[in-house]
Amino acid sequence: MRMHPQIRSMVCRVACVAILAIWGICAALPASAVAAQVRIGVLRVDRPVLVPVSRFDAKPDDLGFAGGMLGNDDNQTTGSFLGHEYVLETRAIPPDETQEGVRSLTDNGAVFLVVLGTGDDVLTAADAAGPDVLVFNAGAPDANLRDTDCRANLFHVAPSRAMLADAIAQFLVWKKWDRWLLIEGSNPDDGKLAGAYRRAAAKFGAQIVDERVFEDTGGSRRADSGIVLVQRQVPVFTQKAPDHDVIVAADESDVFALYLPYHSWEPRPVAGSGGLRPVNFDATIEAWGATQFQGRFEKLAGRYIHPEDYNVWLASRVIGEAVTRTSSADPRKVRDYLLSDEFELAAFKGQKVTFRPWNGQLRQPILLTDSKITVSVSPQDGFLHQRSPLDTMGLDQPESACTAFQTRSNP
């Protein structure tokens, strides 16, 4: 998809708005209000990818960046009343240039970085940025980043695989679809996702009655003539499974999961990577003021929102909210504030989102979508936790081996 022309002129527009606003509206502020500049860098690590199974899953050129623009717009409107100026800079880079990408942004003065990439990319970026820069992971779902490999300067707005798997598991258990047929892909990330589903099944009392691996044999995913083949392969692949209520698909590589609904041997619903999917956000949600948010995004970007856009918007709003409340753009002060009980943010998901102080993960509801509408939102009713129902999803404090957050004020 082509970049909307509006976005190209975004950096200029933000700056103009800021100047107008500061001269105009801020005239009313007391003289003590000092203009502070907040520079946020967005780094996206791009890899060659195959054409997705569904045309709807094609990645737009401005993936993530458009969310960053909207977040910056939102921050700037608020900042204009307080004398704060927000500047956004974006970079799309190949994987072997992550460190250079980080440096080019921090050399320009960015003290907040939002990173879209794999878990390894995020760790490389966090380490290259150093302790004086706060890094926000907007894409990687890996458990190790929230566990043994956590970093004191690294926060996660993207949900972990564990959160996503727990969100689906709660819904399936609430439906009393307790017997799962787990099908995983053959790539490493598929295996990690399958692991999250095994963990979720054990956590919420579901039973995995059988596990199968769907081999990724490579090649093109174009379905010019492929539907006939799928229609013959999937029934046979899912044949002779023990009695099950639902098929759970772990297919992060986007190879087979979308083909499972309707083609499975038994007439069973599909959840996970196909059928009912857990997402942080998508274009289906309208509740809790999301209609207005979707409208603002679509007007800016000329397309529907992707989870990556939402995550970058969210990271940007997290930073903006902390700057607004602390009147400081100092990453150390922002970090302390984010980890304190004071921090809370409205994120169009029906309740405030906050950070887990033990590993820097943002607590948030997870949407369950059939890709047309929002089917449900987890946590489900009745899943309780002594701290917050949101902590029924993902790594709870005793389960996380992260120690980098034990001393707060010294990132």
Partner 1 sequence: MKRPSRMASVAPVVGAGLVGVVTSFLALSGPALANKAFVSNEKGNTVSVIDTDSWETETEFAVGNRPRGIGISPDGKHLYVCASDDDTIQVIDTESYDFLWSLPSGPDPELFVLSPDGAMLYVSNEDDNLVTVVDTSKKTVVAEIPVGVEPEGMAVSPDMRFIVNTSETTNMAHFIASADYKIKHNVLVDQRPRYARFTGDGSTLFVSSEIGGTVSVIDMLGETGPELESKIGFEVSGVQPEWLQPVGMRITSDNKWLFVALGPANRVAVIDVESREVVRYILVGQRVWQLEFTPDEKYLLTTNGNSNDVTVIDVAAQEPIKSIQVGQQPWGVVVTPD
Which residues contact partner 1 (rule: CB under 8 A)? Answer: 25, 28-30, 73-74, 77-78, 81-82, 289, 292, 295-296, 299, 317, 321, 324-325, 344-346, 351-352, 388-389
| Closer Cβ to partner 1, 81 or 265, answer by number | 81
Distance CA 131, CA 116 (A): 19
Tokens in use for 23?
A: 């001269």
Name every residue whose Cβ is closer than 8 Å to that of residue 28 and which is 6 or more positions away in sequence: none
In the complex, the smallest distance separating the C-beta of residue 172 from partner 1, rounded to whole angstroms, is: 22
Distance CA 277, CA 264 (A): 17
In the complex, the smallest distance separating the C-beta of residue 324 from partner 1, rounded to whole angstroms, is: 7
DSSP state for residue 247 in the 8-state scheme: E
Distance CA 158, CA 24 (A): 37
Task: Look at the chain and count its residues.
Answer: 411
Distance CA 394, CA 170 (A): 12
Indicate the Cα dihedral angle 78, 83, 87, 88, nearest 10°.
Answer: -20
In the complex, the smallest distance separating the C-beta of residue 282 from partner 1, rounded to whole angstroms, is: 19
| Closer Cβ to partner 1, 6 or 388, answer by number | 388
In the complex, the smallest distance separating the C-beta of residue 82 from partner 1, rounded to whole angstroms, is: 8
Distance CA 355, CA 211 (A): 35
| Closer Cβ to partner 1, 29 or 202, answer by number | 29
Tokens 């998508």 -> residue: 282
| Closer Cβ to partner 1, 256 or 383, answer by number | 383
For residue 261, say if its preceding peptide bond is cis, omega within 30 degrees of 0.
no
In the complex, the smallest distance separating the C-beta of residue 346 from partner 1, rounded to whole angstroms, is: 4
In the complex, the smallest distance separating the C-beta of residue 40 from partner 1, rounded to whole angstroms, is: 17
CA distances to 61, 167, 272, 379, 387 from 391, in Å:
34, 11, 20, 9, 7
In the complex, the smallest distance separating the C-beta of residue 51 from partner 1, rounded to whole angstroms, is: 35
Distance CA 128, CA 123 (A): 8
DSSP state for residue 97 in the 8-state scheme: G
In the complex, the smallest distance separating the C-beta of residue 368 from partner 1, rounded to whole angstroms, is: 18
| Closer Cβ to partner 1, 94 or 295, answer by number | 295
Answer whether 124's CB lies under 8 Å from 98's CB. Answer: yes
| Closer Cβ to partner 1, 222 or 299, answer by number | 299
| Closer Cβ to partner 1, 144 or 326, answer by number | 326
Nearest to 318 by CA among 157, 183, 194: 157
| Closer Cβ to partner 1, 256 or 310, answer by number | 310
